[in-house]
């Protein structure tokens, strides 16, 4: 059969057009990850030219790095370290003050289930170290002595602490705040579609741009089953919302056949036992982060009760016995299975 030249050229042109179009559409979404704040932070950004996306994502990571240096207990000169080393308190940056103000609000409304003063307790368990261990009762009592929401107060940027031994830990809220700031920076750079995920602390900005130009749709987020990690518990659909999960499977170790994780009940100093996981959807990641930790400590009933004080927040709780509980407004995010 003779070669049909125009047909072959036609096919080549179509193939070239398809690969060019794929390149263009790949350009619409930029995906980067970095190890930050003790976890992998992933940023996906879209809806802009690739040059602009590169600059925006670099700036967002830089902002998260800056915040880590203010909020982490592992940086000697961070606000948190200076605060812990001080006798009666110290002045902190505007950002740290904002985190502490929100943390104290959740602490007060949760009756102290959320607690920014668990620094000594956290160090005692050693979850950040190679081999964490279960502390003895005397050491536990000492780490809990004099702590609690009333032991910390804030006036403007001035933080006061009641005892010189008190150590601040923003581990239950700081990562969320950093994700909020990363999103703010992406927006300042003109990004209209993005997902920032810091180890389960997420914000989903705008519609998912991969489909921009076609029908736009919200982001779809699968919520991991706390006991069957390859299975999804549910899928939710969100736009311009934070989605944060706290689970008892994130940082764990086992001793004498008992599992221990890193979300503590401040009353006992032991891992809270009421839930397997809590997922919160809210306007800000910092709030969702703090509420997920607080509700986890409170357990399903009281945890969901806490959410009624925050009209912008909805939650899904897996109780210790595996039963599912959700706040009344949760259903509007749920994607039918
Ligand atoms: P993850 O860090 O896995 O996202 P969380 O947001 O629930 O999980 O935060 C757990 C961290 O919060 C702990 O590592 C500790 O630093 C801190 N934390 C533990 N218990 C409490 C509590 N009751 N209140 C406030 N912060 C807590
Ligand atoms: Mg949290």
Q: Measured between alpha carbons, how far is 212 from 250 in angstroms, rounded to an integer?
A: 34
Which class would CATH give 71-161?
mainly alpha
| Ligand 1 neighbour 248 (Cβ under 6 A) | no
The mean predicted confidence, pLDDT, of the chain is 91
The ligand minimizing its distance to the Cα of 290 is 2
Q: What is the position in ligand 1's atom list of the atom closest to the CA of 250?
A: 3
Q: pLDDT for 20-44, tens place per residue?
A: 444 444 447 899 999 999 999 999 9
Cβ distance 282 to 310 under 8 Å? Answer: yes
pLDDT tops 50 at residue 131? yes
pLDDT tops 80 at residue 202? yes
Q: Measured between alpha carbons, how far is 303 from 36 in angstroms, rounded to an integer?
A: 29
Distances (CA, A) of 337 to 49, 181, 298: 35, 33, 29
Q: Which of 172, 267, 273, 282 to mutate to test the pocket of ligand 1 (most atoms within 8 A of CB)?
A: 172
Ligand 2 center to residue 177 CA distance, Å? 10
Q: Measured between alpha carbons, how far is 122 from 234 in angstroms, rounded to an integer?
A: 31
Model pTM score: 0.91
Backbone angles phi and psi of 119, in degrees to 5: -55, -45
Q: Which residue has the tokens 């009209």?
A: 311
Cβ distance 284 to 251 under 8 Å? Answer: no
Which pLDDT score is estimated for 128?
Answer: 83
Residue having the nearest C-alpha atom to atom 4 of ligand 1: 246
Please identify every residue whose CB atom is under 5 Å from ligand 2, which is an ion: 172, 289, 292-293
| Ligand 1 neighbour 262 (Cβ under 6 A) | yes
Ligand 1 center to residue 228 CA distance, Å? 22
Residue having the nearest C-alpha atom to atom 8 of ligand 1: 246
Q: Measured between alpha carbons, how far is 327 from 246 in angstroms, rounded to an integer?
A: 16
Q: Measured between alpha carbons, how far is 335 from 328 in angstroms, rounded to an integer?
A: 15
Q: How many CB atoms lie within 10 A of CB 227?
A: 14
Ligand 2 center to residue 128 CA distance, Å? 16
Look up residue 147 and give its DSSP letter.
Answer: -
Q: pLDDT for 213-250, tens place per residue?
A: 556 689 999 999 999 989 999 999 999 999 999 999 98
Domain ranges (residues) in the chain: 12-64+189-332, 71-161
Cβ distance 30 to 50 under 8 Å? Answer: yes
Q: Measured between alpha carbons, how far is 28 from 14 in angstroms, rounded to an integer?
A: 21
How far is C-alpha 328 from the geometric centre of its chain's CA atoms? 23
Find all residues with CB under 8 Å of 8, minimum gap 6, and list them: none
Q: Which of 109, 263, 280, 295 to mutate to test the pocket of ligand 1 (most atoms within 8 A of CB)?
A: 263
CATH topology of domain 12-64+189-332: T-fold (3.10.520)
Which pLDDT score is estimated for 160?
Answer: 98
Q: pLDDT for 87-99, tens place per residue?
A: 999 999 999 999 9
């Amino acid at each position: 059969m003779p070669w049909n030249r125009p047909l072959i050229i036609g096919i080549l042109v179509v193939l070239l057009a398809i690969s060019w179009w794929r390149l263009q559409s790949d350009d619409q979404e930029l995906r980067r990850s970095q190890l930050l704040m003790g976890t992998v932070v992933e940023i996906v950004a879209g809806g802009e030219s690739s040059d602009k996306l590169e600059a925006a994502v670099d700036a967002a990571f830089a902002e998260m790095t800056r915040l880590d240096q203010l909020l982490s207990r592992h940086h000697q000169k961070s606000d948190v370290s200076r605060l812990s080393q001080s006798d009666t308190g110290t002045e902190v940056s505007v950002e740290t003050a904002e985190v502490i103000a929100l943390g104290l609000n959740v602490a007060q409304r949760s009756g102290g289930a959320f607690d920014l003063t668990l620094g000594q307790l956290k160090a005692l368990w050693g979850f950040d170290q190679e081999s964490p261990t279960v502390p003895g009762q005397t050491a536990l009592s000492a780490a809990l002595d004099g702590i609690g929401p009333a032991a910390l107060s804030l006036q403007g940027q001035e933080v006061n602490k009641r005892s010189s031994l008190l150590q601040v830990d923003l581990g239950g809220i700081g990562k969320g705040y950093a994700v909020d700031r990363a999103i703010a920076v992406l927006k300042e750079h003109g990004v209209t579609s993005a997902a920032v995920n810091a180890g389960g602390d997420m914000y989903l900005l705008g519609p998912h741009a991969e489909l921009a130009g076609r029908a736009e749709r919200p982001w779809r987020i699968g919520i991991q089953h706390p006991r069957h990690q390859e299975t999804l518990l549910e899928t939710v659909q969100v736009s311009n919302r934070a989605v944060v999960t706290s689970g008892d499977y994130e940082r764990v170790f086992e001793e004498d056949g008992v599992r221990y994780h890193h979300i503590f009940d401040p009353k006992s100093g032991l891992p809270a036992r009421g839930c397997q996981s809590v997922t919160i959807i809210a306007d800000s990641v910092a709030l969702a982060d703090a509420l997920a930790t607080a509700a986890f400590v409170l357990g399903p009933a009281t945890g969901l009760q806490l959410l009624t004080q925050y009209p912008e927040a909805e939650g899904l709780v897996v109780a210790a016995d595996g039963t599912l509980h959700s706040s009344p407004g949760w259903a509007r995010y749920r994607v039918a299975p």
